[in-house]
Amino acid sequence: MNVLLINPPVRSENIYGRLAIFSHKLPPLGLCYLASYLIGYGHKVEILDLYVSNHINLIDFINAYQPDIIGVTSTTVSFPSAKKTLKIIKSYYPEVITVMGGAHISAVPVETMNECADIAIGVIGEGEITFKELIDIIGQNQDLSGCRGIIYRKNNSIVKTQPRPLIENLDMLPFPARNLLKEFDRYYHHFLRGYGRTASIISSRGCPYGCAFCTQAVFGTRVRGYSAHYICDEIKQVMRDFSANFFSFEDDIFNYDRQRLKELCENILREGLKIRWCCSIRIDSITEEDIGLMAKAGCKKIYIGIETFSNRLQKLIGKHIEREFLIDKIRLIKSYNMEVNASFMLGLPTETKEEILETINNANNLPLDGAVFFLYTPYPGTQLRRLAEESGIISNKWDDYSSHLSTHAFYPRSIKVKDLDRLIFYAYRRFYLSPKFIKRNYRNTNIFRQLFKYLFKRVKSLF
């Protein structure tokens, strides 16, 4: 069958608002994994990433390709755009089979089907095996009830099949088909997570920690990793085919398994891969031995999620890290010539202005190289959403769910939204323009050099 996979168009300004100049555009690796898996079974697949290639006419592309099935991926914030894209497709091609996958429909499948009548079938969770079986069943004109992990329409009702088990052996999946991305050079990383020509890579799926603000609707809470040999072979392919010189591991938690971390770093060294890379870690479970080996294998940037310094809110979100412990670990990591960047979350349910200022003040006292301040967003399917409903007003517009200063998905009663906006801008100004930050970084101007290069690239891309 001919399959077309679409990433819907979303303007950076709609997600990042006034901070859009610092946004990134990452390749849709989920679609690339799905495409390569389907190609392995003889199907013809094209990827149309309208987030990057928004100048391509959707209908002209479909006319030229003539797909049998069109799949659209969607996060929560991109769902309105995905819905509009499907409506356009169905208005021109009412008989084409339309499938939606991704984080949003995986989190709230029934609600999503009810909201968008143009979705014929939804894929819940990991999509590779499910989508392949779905195509087989459609091709053989069999009943869809035999396909696990989907939701579909039948006789004016919505039917949800049994869940699809997670893929145990990720090495069974072929490398993601990055070659199907039409304009690879138009993807770029945030300057805090990349150097030079940066490529995204995924070495594991899932997260075991269950933070109350986060959802694992697609990959689950049980972590599964690709083997060290698989990852190193993929790195070599991306270096060869795309001239990448820096890799950003997009795993939720890179150091979930110390033995696997050791095997991967040792394999990078054994194969002589001269690469630089970054990753996200749980700082409370990293050891000096791990840090030293990561540095030796080329790790240059570490990203950590701190979220809040309020003891009360730490218990609420299920994430507790002592300030002095953080300072010691950050200094230890930096002693191995690695940058440390952190994220913080402001506007949590019941959070007060005093607690927000406590987080901002403590963030400025950490020896960090960079910081990002997110707005709390009550994503569907998360534990904290119920408390948000009780302690404020939740937006029913999915394009409000960006986590950045473009819109608000949550209006807390504990603080005015206009005050929250001011505090986020204050947090950025105080961090990046503080004498401590400038003094700490003035000898190594890398952070400023990256910032100016990044700004130049972003401005240049507008013309």
* pTM, entire model: 0.91
The candidate with the shortest Cα–Cα distance to 309, out of 255, 247, 373, 355, is 355
The candidate with the shortest Cα–Cα distance to 78, out of 5, 14, 3, 152, is 14
Residue 80, number of CB atoms within 10 A of its CB: 20
- Torsions phi, psi for 353 (to 5 deg): -60, -40
More confident residue, 393 or 434: 393
| pLDDT tens readout for residues 60-75 | 999 999 999 999 999 9
Chain mean pLDDT for the chain? 90
Of 192-206, 242-256, 368-382, least confident by mean pLDDT is 192-206
Residue 108: pLDDT above 60? Answer: yes
The greatest distance separating any two alpha carbons of the chain, rounded to the nearest whole angstrom, comes to: 69
Encoded tokens for 454: 């990044």
| pLDDT tens readout for residues 130-154 | 999 999 999 999 999 999 999 999 9
Residue 446: pLDDT above 70? Answer: no
| pLDDT tens readout for residues 179-237 | 999 888 888 787 777 777 889 999 999 988 878 888 875 677 789 999 999 999 999 99
DSSP class per residue in 9-42: P--HHHHHGGGGGG--B---HHHHHHHHHHHTTT
Handedness of CA 50, 56, 60, 66 (dihedral sign): negative
Residue 19: pLDDT above 80? Answer: no
Domains of the chain: 2-160 (3.40.50.280), 189-460 (3.80.30.20)
Of 11-25, 317-331, 339-353, least confident by mean pLDDT is 11-25
Per-residue confidence (pLDDT) for residue 64, from 0 to 100? 96
Would you give the distance in Å from CA 402 to the centre of its chain? 12
Dihedral angle, C-alpha 53, 56, 57, 58, nearest 10 °: -40
* Whether the Cβ atoms of residue 68 and residue 97 lie closer than 8 Å to each other: yes
The candidate with the shortest Cα–Cα distance to 346, out of 402, 420, 412, is 420
Of 17-21, 240-244, 399-403, least confident by mean pLDDT is 17-21
Q: Which residues contact 393 (CB under 8 A, 6 or more apart)?
A: 410, 411
Percent of the chain whose predicted confidence (pLDDT) is above 90: 75
- Torsions phi, psi for 447 (to 5 deg): -65, -40
Rounded CA gap, 349 and 412, in Å? 6
The candidate with the shortest Cα–Cα distance to 347, out of 334, 356, 336, is 356
More confident residue, 300 or 321: 300
Per-residue confidence (pLDDT) for residue 441, from 0 to 100? 67
Residue 14: pLDDT above 70? Answer: no
* Whether the Cβ atoms of residue 341 and residue 193 lie closer than 8 Å to each other: yes
Rounded CA gap, 359 and 404, in Å? 17
pLDDT band at 173 (very low <50, low <70, confident <90, very high): very high
